[in-house]
Structure 1
Amino acid sequence: MGNTDRLLGLRHCPSDLMVDIVDYRGRPANRSTSGGWTSALFIIGVEIAERFAFYGISSNLISYLTGPLGESTAMAAAALNAWNGVASMLPLLGAFVADSYLGRYRTIIIASLLYILGLGTLTLSSMLPIFHPAKCGMACSPPPLQVALFYVSLYLVAIAQGGHKPCVQAFGADQFDQNDPQERVARISFFNWWYFGICCGVLVTLVVLSYVQDSIGWGLGFGIPCIVMLFALVLFLLGTRTYRFCLLQEESPFSRIGRTVVALARKRQGKLPITELQSDIERVEETKGLLRLFPIWTTCLIYAVVFAQSSTLFTKQGGTLDRRISSKLQMPPAALQSFISASIIVSIPIYDGILVPVARKFSGLPSGITMLQRIGTGMALSLISMMIAALVEMKRLKTAREFGLVDQPSATIPMSLWWLVPQYVLLGVADVFTMVGLQEFFYDQVPDALRSLGLALYLSIFGIGSFISGFLISVINKTTGRGGDSWFSNNLNRAHLDYFYWLLAGLSMIELGLYVYFTQAYVYKKKQDTAVM
């Protein structure tokens, strides 16, 4: 393999030997002149821009679906959950392609180009004159061609994210040598500041783009993310000379894991001599290490269902309230999600700068608390958030009845947006614990050759969670709508989002109990993290 092939055929390899890590020319990488925070900052910048672009369309998408596309609340929420689910599941495919064939570097570049294409066609679908006849107002149904182009563009963005998301974060973490004491501590901070940077980008897009989309136009609101994604690609290429790269192994890790799973199954059936497996103990252990992650993966799914509500039902709920910040300024419904980002931005420096050093003195762990303890803490906070959301929704419905607004779905409920702030803030703090904890856990605990897959597994939690959310909404909407207004009626004043929130709180409580049970038996891959939940 020549130098060029070595650069483009990249993938994470065991990082305990710096000699196996190369620079952009394919030469052995020098720790002092490559990687570290210099490279990581380029990559964090790329992710901030990508999250700005992604949330620039996803955070306010329910308003576009129920507005220009004319879909019902339940239909729009189900469609959005389905898209989010696909977007979060496709990283499994992206990780497979990157780890087995293209490598992370090349996968990121191809995914970025697909991103720009998808966002560009999405912008066209909302701007072309043929989709907006001059004699037709808002009452007209959108042309089928517009709807088709919109959804094709939307799923092209999902495909692009599938290649981009698992590779960028893994590539960023690869810039730190886990066997170097200083770089290992820096890598722990990297996951915190990575999420901090993402939330800064999300905060800006929630405040700026939601206003642009609601007040100026969807064409510009979709066009800005396209331009930002082009900037992200340029920034990523500019950092090439500073990156550390790992070379593809001769055998795909997916093939190796697959063969081992089949061999273990044959052994259990007595069809395979035990000596055949004993000849490759390392391969067996890394396969078992991957399989033991699935109880943790499964018991985090309801957390992902709760997470899905912030961009769907929370947004519709907030759209009915008094959102005036001043006499002339009103906050767009989607911008309410900025309270999540703001709470994360405030919480991460506190967590990384105060909580971790204090906890480190008692536990002796570099991370202060274990990854599983961190995840479980966030799950408990999300449970409390859903309980508060249910209580606030009960208050909103009561206020609508008291002021005779039950049959006026377009009327503003005389209830301030500040009632919603606690549920958003708690979800943000929960993300600092669970979201960042899951990222570190699924990067750190998978076999070294499957780091992209590990982060794809983390993302798939939210994909399956979105599917579960969409399924629950569809089934409950159909079931409860038979006798009158469903829980998700288009007239939210006759709906019962509070019932749905209580249901999610109950499921979260069951999930947390199962999570604690399974984590008691979990044994960490790294000796530094031997403590249990």
Structure 2
Amino acid sequence: MKYSKIRSKLTRWFQYYFVFSKAALLISALVFSHSLVEHAVVDVLMSYITDTWKNVHLNVAAVAVNTYEVTSTIAVVLLAHASDAYFGHFKMILITTKTYILGLVLLWITGTKIWLLVVALVLISVGTAGKEPPLKEFLVDQLRRHEQSLDGNNEIRVQARTEVWWRFWWCLGSITATFAFSAVDWPNTFKVVIVVMFVAYWLFRFGEGLPYCQSPTSEENQTGKQEASASPLSLAYRVLKAAIMKRHLHYPDASKFFKNDSGELILLPNIPFFRWLDKAAIVDPSSLSPEEQEKQGKLCSVAQVKEIKYLLKMVPMWATFLVYGLVEATGSTFFVEQTSNLRSPITDSFVDIVIAFNAMKSLTSFIVPYLYELLIQRRWSDGRQKQGGLLVRIGVGMVSSIICCCAAWQVEVRRLNMVDREGVKDDPDVKIHMSILWLVPQFCLLGFMEGLAEAGLVDFFCDLVADSMKSYAGPFTNCTLSIGKLVNIACVFVFRDWFRDNVNNSHLDRYYLMLTILSSANLCLYCFVSHEYMGGEEAATANNKPHAILEDGDQVVGTVSDPSIGSLSTTHSSVRQTIRCHSVPQSSVQTTWNRPLRSSKW
């Protein structure tokens, strides 16, 4: 009886997370190939550059890797926009995969030609941009088609199945890279990954004829203009353009009103520096009708303005991740280079220890979010507690970044002392008597950072913004981190005396100490920012926030009796103006006196 219950639970668990899908299997081949290439080539680009070009200084190699990462991030945002607006996910995946293969071929034949290396890295950055969101969103589309209905529970199950499919094949690719390329030189490594990517591409093309592999984007949108309107980047441009064109208008009175789609009386969030964006939704009292103004890009709906304003509310949170991006950039450059002259207790015949470190980091970043949600996040179910849980999660990730920098600093101090003791400062190829396993804590902490802070930022973004922008959580997060990587490039040139021709002559310990101090200061900034987020009225109402606009310090009181939008009360210390809405008649708005709402400082 006991075993039958266990078997029944396992069966239900398996049926919940796994479903057979031809399209998903074909997509999984691409997920596996992306993971294999990323762990075998992209994550160890620092080693490839220093191994191939012996005369390249440490700082130049670090700048090259960080520049590639920034280029890749920019490509992710631009291609996500192009995928949503013009091409659709399926065509974008085909284009980026072919570009990826071409970049790997150029990297294979580049030799010592710098210009070929630059072209190859640009093409590879475009190829990696096809991984997320186009490929992942396409997988979501295919798994969603297996659901007979799209109620809340089924949509949650689709997302859960997507994560399981994605993480399984991604982990399989990282494990394969760890054990398959231990004794393989760089030219043969490129040959193998090119063949794997080429086979995965044609398997994906094979599914083009399957009904499940048709792109929903291309079916639902008929023109480029219609598609472009669904893109957050296009929406941001429209709102910014309309607000600038109406900068001369005053805020609404009895003769001017908002173009309101949902009947809400008041417009929030109240962002002091961006309140002028509200003017994009004001109907200009000109000879043109509201419809004509909208066609000419001079008028946006209240819902569209709110989407952009809630996106802008992420700016303070993004600002706290600049130092975090600096630490992450260090992890993909100098952490990798630290392994160059340390002894490995594991024989090189069956595992590549550097690739294994990156695979361990990826595995940690995958496991930590699950454990956090299982043990902690589920205890905070309602809106305010959920947001507080996300802020705590990000804060723990920030603490992990401090510990990571501190661990790297202490390990580097020990390594440099060992180098001086053995007198091999000018010979970076000689292995010193120090185990490479000393680097395990800092690579594990990198995974903790990604799984807690970075993944937490993505969830916080999705919890704050409109549904139409949630697919851009990953690209916008990566853009924020890329700014930190640009700061890392600047630091390499500012503190050039710390970075010499090789890792033994450099002073990475000083750099890691500086990162520890910066991360500690950044944690204080994050505590202040998170406190302000929890203090706003948006936090009290979770995702369904009230939408208000304050008239230069005055507060308008209104009770909206429309049952479709509920009841909304605000206050006005001196009622001098009346805000009118398309769907709310004057008779349904009654002036009352009440205590002011607490508005967010962001």
2-structure distance, mates of 1:67, 1:432: 31
Whether contact under 8 Å (2:179, 2:350) holds in the other structure is: no
Aligned counterpart, 2:309:
288
Q: Is 2:525 the counterpart of 1:514? A: yes
2-structure distance, mates of 1:245, 1:201: 28
AA matched with 1:496: H
AA matched with 1:149: L
Aligned counterpart, 1:96:
81
Alignment of 1:120-139 (within 5 A): 120-126=105-111
Aligned counterpart, 1:221:
189
Alignment of 1:60-139 (within 5 A): 60-70=44-54, 71-126=56-111
2-structure distance, mates of 1:445, 1:95: 20
Distance 1:187 1:41, change over 3 A: farther
Aligned counterpart, 1:496:
507
1-structure distance, mates of 2:53, 2:76: 28
Aligned counterpart, 1:317:
338
Aligned counterpart, 2:373:
356
Aligned counterpart, 2:122:
155
Whether contact under 8 Å (1:263, 1:272) holds in the other structure is: no
Distance 1:163 1:338, change over 3 A: closer
| Cα deviations by residue, 1:423-465 (Å, 9 ceiling, x for unpaired) | 1111112222233333444456443334443332122123223
**3-state SS in 1 of match to 2:495:** helix
Alignment of 1:315-354 (within 5 A): 315-326=336-347, 331-344=352-365, 347-348=367-368, 351-352=369-370
AA matched with 1:404: G
**3-state SS in 2 of match to 1:519:** helix
Decide which of 470, 473, 482 is 2:492's aligned counterpart: 473
Aligned counterpart, 2:11:
none
| Cα deviations by residue, 1:115-167 (Å, 9 ceiling, x for unpaired) | 122222322334xxxxxxxxxxxxxxx3xxx3222221221111232344332
Aligned counterpart, 1:53:
37
**3-state SS in 2 of match to 1:167:** helix
1-structure distance, mates of 2:521, 2:248: 35
State the percentage of identical aligned residues: 27
Distance 1:45 1:448, change over 3 A: farther
**3-state SS in 2 of match to 1:319:** helix
CA apart distance, 1:216: 3.6
Distance 1:316 1:84, change over 3 A: same
1-structure distance, mates of 2:49, 2:468: 41
Whether contact under 8 Å (1:297, 1:461) holds in the other structure is: yes
Q: Is 2:422 the counterpart of 1:403? A: yes
**3-state SS in 2 of match to 1:275:** coil
Distance 1:454 1:432, change over 3 A: closer
Q: Is 2:432 the counterpart of 1:432? A: no
Give the helix-richer structure, 1 or 2.
1
1-structure distance, mates of 2:24, 2:36: 18
2-structure distance, mates of 1:46, 1:374: 31
Aligned counterpart, 2:132:
165
Distance 1:302 1:102, change over 3 A: same
1-structure distance, mates of 2:541, 2:151: 11
Distance 1:205 1:260, change over 3 A: same
Whether contact under 8 Å (2:310, 2:465) holds in the other structure is: yes
Whether contact under 8 Å (1:52, 1:225) holds in the other structure is: yes
Whether contact under 8 Å (2:40, 2:355) holds in the other structure is: no
AA matched with 2:192: I
Alignment of 1:245-284 (within 5 A): 245-246=216-217, 247-248=220-221, 249=226, 252-253=229-230, 254-265=233-244, 270=249, 275-276=257-258, 277=281, 280-284=301-305
CA apart distance, 1:385: 0.8
2-structure distance, mates of 1:42, 1:444: 31
Whether contact under 8 Å (2:398, 2:449) holds in the other structure is: yes
Higher relative contact order (CA 8 A, sep 6+): 1
Distance 1:360 1:500, change over 3 A: closer
Aligned counterpart, 1:387:
406
CA apart distance, 1:100: 1.7
TM-score, scaled relative to structure 1: 0.76
* Bigger mean CA offset, 358-367 vs 47-56: 358-367
Larger Rg: 2
CA apart distance, 1:195: 4.7
1-structure distance, mates of 2:507, 2:401: 20
| Cα deviations by residue, 1:313-352 (Å, 9 ceiling, x for unpaired) | 111111121123149778554543333234345x34xx52
* Bigger mean CA offset, 282-291 vs 263-272: 263-272
Whether contact under 8 Å (1:88, 1:162) holds in the other structure is: yes
Whether contact under 8 Å (1:200, 1:341) holds in the other structure is: no
**3-state SS in 1 of match to 2:423:** coil
Whether contact under 8 Å (2:106, 2:120) holds in the other structure is: yes
* Bigger mean CA offset, 495-504 vs 225-234: 225-234
**3-state SS in 2 of match to 1:324:** coil
2-structure distance, mates of 1:159, 1:327: 33
CA apart distance, 1:527: 4.1
CA apart distance, 1:266: 5.5
| Cα deviations by residue, 1:149-188 (Å, 9 ceiling, x for unpaired) | 2221221111232344332233344555985134326526
Distance 1:200 1:300, change over 3 A: farther
Distance 1:217 1:358, change over 3 A: closer
Distance 1:44 1:507, change over 3 A: farther
* Bigger mean CA offset, 296-305 vs 177-186: 177-186
TM-score, scaled relative to structure 2: 0.68
**3-state SS in 2 of match to 1:60:** helix
Distance 1:373 1:167, change over 3 A: farther
2-structure distance, mates of 1:454, 1:204: 29
Whether contact under 8 Å (1:125, 1:150) holds in the other structure is: yes
Gaps of 5+ in 2: 1-14, 259-280, 284-300, 546-599
2-structure distance, mates of 1:36, 1:524: 37
| Cα deviations by residue, 1:383-412 (Å, 9 ceiling, x for unpaired) | 211111101111111222333334443322
Decide which of 180, 193, 205 is 1:208's aligned counterpart: 180
AA matched with 2:45: L
**3-state SS in 1 of match to 2:41:** helix
**3-state SS in 2 of match to 1:55:** helix
CA apart distance, 1:422: 1.0
CA apart distance, 1:201: 2.2
| Cα deviations by residue, 1:332-388 (Å, 9 ceiling, x for unpaired) | 54543333234345x34xx52x54244355322599774443333222212211111
Whether contact under 8 Å (2:400, 2:448) holds in the other structure is: yes
